[in-house]
């Protein structure tokens, strides 16, 4: 693929009985966001908060120059906010990364709705490589 886009899982079902005319139906079951490397955006669920990692809703976001991007906020308030909203999971926060749902390079910000706690390994081995393939 040349660029990131949404793809659809589509199935064709055919059923019939002996001596009858078969009935065929096309079914589109799910929509997936895939990057130019044909990797699906990871589906991740946080069992503590009960929230799934939201996927970007656009496949054609504008790329911002570094000087026009929101600067990454490394403030501890993100952890305090999480604990205040979902209670203290007793995690080792030093082993976690706070992921921007919309990458700062594509207009993300430091608002709590754009942040999601991930293990550093998951963030670096699945999410960051997916974003490197976003174009």
Q: How far is CA 49 from the centre of its chain?
A: 16
CA distances (Å), 7 to each of 2, 10, 40, 46, 59, in order? Answer: 13, 9, 9, 25, 11
**Interatomic CA distance for residues 20 and 39, integer angstroms:** 42
| pLDDT reported for residue 89 | 94
> Confidence class of residue 15 from pLDDT cuts 50, 70 and 90?
confident
Domain extents in the chain: 5-132
- Give the residue with greater pLDDT, 15 vs 28: 15
**Interatomic CA distance for residues 11 and 14, integer angstroms:** 10
> Confidence class of residue 46 from pLDDT cuts 50, 70 and 90?
very high
| pLDDT reported for residue 28 | 66
CA neighbor of 130 nearest in space, from 67, 56, 27, 76? 56
| pLDDT reported for residue 76 | 66
pLDDT in tens, 93-127: 888 888 999 999 999 998 888 989 899 999 999 99
């Amino acid at each position: 693929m040349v660029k990131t886009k949404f793809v659809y899982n589509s199935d064709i079902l055919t059923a019939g009985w002996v001596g009858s005319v078969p009935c065929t139906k096309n079914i589109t079951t799910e929509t997936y966001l895939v990057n130019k490397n044909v990797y699906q955006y990871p589906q991740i669920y946080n069992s503590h908060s009960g929230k799934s990692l939201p996927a970007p809703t656009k496949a054609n976001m504008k790329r911002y120059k570094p000087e026009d991007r929101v600067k990454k906020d490394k403030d501890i308030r993100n952890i305090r906010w999480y604990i205040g909203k979902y209670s203290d999971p007793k995690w080792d926060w030093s082993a976690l990364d706070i992921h921007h749902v919309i990458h700062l390079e594509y207009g993300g910000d430091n608002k709590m709705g754009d942040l999601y706690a991930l293990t550093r390994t998951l963030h670096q081995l699945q999410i960051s490589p997916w974003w490197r393939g976003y174009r």
